[in-house]
Amino acid sequence: MVETIETSSKMSTSPLKVKQMRKSCLPFLKYRLTSPQATTVDNPILGNITADGPLSTNRRKKATDRCRQTKGKDPMKGTELVLKALIDNKVKFVFGYTGGAIMPIFDEMEKQKAFKFIMSRHEQGAVFMAQGISRASLSTHDPRTGVCMATSGPGAMNLVTGIADAGMDSVPVLAITGQVPTGVIATDAFQESDVVGVMMPLTKQTYMPLSIDDIESTIHEAMYVASNGRSGPVVVDIPKDVQIQEADSVCKIDPRACQPKVPGYFASPSLDMDRLKQAVSLINKSVRPIILCGHGVISSNSGPTLQALVERSRIPVAFTLHGLSAIPVDHPASLGMVGMHGTVEANRALLHADLIISLGMRFDDRVTGNLAEFARHAEVIHVEIDPSEIDKNVKTTVALNADVKQVLDLLERDPALVSRPRNSWFAQIDTFRNEIADQLNAEIDAGIGQEGQLLAKTIVSRLSHLTRGKDIIVGDVGQHQMILARFYNFQTVNSWFTSGGAGTMGCSLPMAIGVKLARPDERVWSVSGDGGFQMNIQELGTIMEHGIDVKIVIMNNGYLGMVRQWQTLFYDGRYAGTPMKNPDYGAIAGAYGIPYLKVSELDQVDAAIEAARDHEGAFMLEFLCDPSEIVLPMIPAGGGIGDMIVSISK
């Protein structure tokens, strides 16, 4: 039976009454699940709250029983249980910023010294550092879910953008926030904010444990939910009084046996083998197939299997922004990035394909353009672990709701899959590839733009050459991001990190810190525009304090480059709000003890990159770039792939 608790939004409610109603909803805030047994609370302060049904306490007890190992003899505080659960989940680094409501947990961390705590200079930086750990460690022998912490009120609110970013890009992150004591929640207490209400729409799950008995199992469940199925961020908001509560007998959780049974949550959907046979049949009949490699291929560590399938089946592969580095970009079957700023060959091939095989991607607007024009003459196979993404934007012929790794493993070994040469299809793709190749090569070789300054395309091409495409690149957001995606020759699996769905400027520098900590033996480059770099410039302090070896590149063109490009093409060259006066980056680097070079001449580029590359420790390079530079091709907003702009003159 479904129980629904509702309050009319039209009723007259005093502020005190509203706060009392908000407080009365707290028992339901431990869960935010979609299930047939859900309870919905419609509240003028909290909005729609979906809870784990009226028996949530009993369900949590059953979940705890399944994980119970032994009873503790000595009482433990909530803070100890939080840290014990993190240790059990092999957390090594914790990123964050302390404050009043989270102070008890920080104090216990200092006592135990079980973690390497990295203090960000802003809470948003902590989320991106946690993202970096999560994403970069996926391809190591020791994958981890990044953890960040912040205090209540402004501390928790400063996490919001990074949490939203992780949600859009399906990155597992656990954010633990302090909250004011339960006795003053909903009284506008000092540094109080409705963390659960704010975070709910942005996260995979949000919790507020109201008793010490819930803390340990909540952290275990949160880590499980964040990292299983389609990954994503989870927030645990812990009132200060709950943190310092003591338990007479503490439930000890065995993390090896702990797989919480969460109503309505399915981490590993079962593959329909009949549909897989249908997919194989479509592939065998196809004359002009194309694979779209999405972030799911990276997240499932399936790059090598994809490469084996591509080579066996002779099917060309294009990449979403987050699919890049799944296989080497210069592989003969690689078409490069697809979509708004994708390559000519990727977009033209997608337009002419008779079969689209999409792997772990969600058909977002930057890939499809105008949906009415997308895949009009093609069958579509969609492999996706999240059923809500199937048929959401693009109607599929065969939908495979499954882990992309499982599907790729089966396809690559399937004897029924016919290997066809498809020579005519690859010949046609070569004509697409050559359409503007000479124009691009000439521009890169020239290296100088219309206003006499360096071209970012040339800088990225030289960086790619001098690192042999093997380094890790962490791009910020903007025009330089698209240039990195297009012109860096990624050779290492899972070596490209950036913000995709949310497009968060300022992500690169803090994310690069997390990436370097996850993979300390690899060289990491943080590449930003002058606009994005200044949004989290304070994280230079984190690099300085911990001696983190990140190579920092600033593409300084004195503008917000991508917006300026749109203004050039679509707003008659009116540069409203895009010119910017920059500080002395050399002085800033010096203040943080970071070596620095400014590069304005083409013949200085290689030497500067080599100096940063070979230096042990952080190094900053500032390149003075031409503001008139345009990155093409480009699909205009609202246009379809067929409307791709390949030349300004055209």
Please give the domain boundaries of the chain with CATH numbers for all domains.
68-253 (3.40.50.970), 273-433 (3.40.50.1220), 437-631 (3.40.50.970)
Catalytic residue, candidates 37, 115, 191, 544: 191
d(CA 621, CA 105): 39
| CB-CB contact of 494 with 519 (8 Å) | no
The residue among 393, 428, 405 whose CA lies nearest residue 359 is 405
Residue that wins the pLDDT comparison between 119 and 650: 119
Model confidence at 484: pLDDT above 70: yes
| Structural element, H or E, at residue 407 | helix 404-413
What is the per-residue pLDDT across 278-312, written as a single tens digit (0 to 9) for each? Answer: 999 999 999 999 999 999 999 999 999 999 999 99
Q: Which residues have a Cβ under 8 Å from the Cβ of 75 and sit 6 or more positions away? A: 246, 247, 248, 249, 250
Least confident among 62-66, 117-121, 587-591:
62-66
Q: What is the pLDDT of residue 73?
A: 59
Tokens read off for 607: 């030497």
**pLDDT at res. 423:** 96
535-586 pLDDT per residue, tens: 999 999 999 999 999 999 999 999 999 999 999 999 999 999 999 999 999 9
Residue 352 has pLDDT above 70, yes or no: yes
Residues 462, 448: Cα–Cα separation, whole Å: 14
- Note the pLDDT of residue 74: 73
Q: Whole-angstrom Cα distance, residue 65 to residue 374?
A: 50
As a whole number, the mean pLDDT across the chain is 89
Q: Which of 497, 516, 484, 472 is nearest to 617 (CA)?
A: 516
Six-digit token string for 306: 């994809």
Q: Which of 20, 62, 116, 190 is catalytic?
A: 190
- Catalytic site residue 240? yes
The whole-angstrom separation of Cα 571 and Cα 550 is 38
595: preceding bond cis by omega (within 30 degrees):
no
Q: At residue 93, does pLDDT exceed 70? A: yes
Task: Specify the range with the lowest mean pLDDT, choosing from 136-140, 263-267, 490-494.
Answer: 263-267
By mean pLDDT, which of 16-20, 143-147, 246-250, 319-323 is the weakest?
16-20
CA angle 54, 185, 263 (to 5 degrees): 25
3-state percent helix, strand, coil for the chain, nearest multiple of 5:
40, 20, 40
Single out the catalytic residue among 240, 457, 516, 551: 240
Confidence of residue 251 (pLDDT cuts 50, 70, 90): low
Q: Among 208, 240, 236, 213, which residue's Cα sits nearest to residue 224?
A: 236
Which two structure tokens, joined as six digits, stand for 541?
């302090």
pLDDT tens digits, 96-132: 999 999 999 999 999 999 999 999 999 999 999 999 9
| Residue whose structure tokens are 């928790």 | 156
CA distances from 483 to 157, 248, 465, 565, 635 (A): 32, 59, 15, 13, 15
Mean pLDDT on 590-607: 98
Stated as kind and residue range, the H or E segment containing 117 is strand 116-119
Predicted pLDDT at 35: 29
- Residues ≥6 apart with Cβ < 8 Å to 475: 481, 484, 485, 496, 497, 498, 508, 527, 528
Catalytic residue among 123, 345, 443, 622: 123
28 confidence band (pLDDT: 50, 70, 90): very low
pLDDT for 641 = 94
Band of the pLDDT at 88, cuts 50, 70, 90?
A: very high
- Let me know: does 505 contact 578? Beta carbons within 8 Å: no
Instruction: Check: CB of residue 596 under 8 Å from CB of residue 589.
Output: yes
Residues 6+ apart with CB under 8 A from 391: 382, 399
CA distances 117 to 106, 120, 180, 618, Å, are 9, 9, 23, 20
pLDDT at residue number 648 = 83
SS3 409: helix
Residue-level pLDDT at 34: 29
Q: Whole-model pTM?
A: 0.90
Query: 4: which strand partners?
Result: 40
- Segments of 240-386 assigned E as strands: 246-247, 251-253, 289-293, 317-319, 334-337, 355-359, 379-383
Q: Is the pLDDT of residue 61 over 50?
A: no
The confidence score (pLDDT) of residue 31 equals: 39
Between 71 and 246, name the one with better pLDDT.
246
210 and 270 Cβ atoms separated by less than 8 Å: no
Q: What is the pLDDT of residues 199-239, one digit of tens each?
A: 999 999 999 999 999 999 999 999 999 999 999 999 999 99
CB atoms within 10 A of CB 593: 12
Q: How far apart are CA 460 and CA 625, in angstroms?
A: 12
Tell which residue, 278, 234, 37, 242, has the closest CA to residue 127: 234
- Say whether pLDDT at 419 is over 80: yes
Question: Taking CA 115 as the corner, what is the angle to CA 114 and CA 120, rounded to the nearest 5 degrees?
Answer: 150
Give yes or no: 190 in active site.
yes
For residues 404 and 382, the answer to whether their CB atoms sit within 8 Å is no
Average pLDDT over residues 153-157: 98
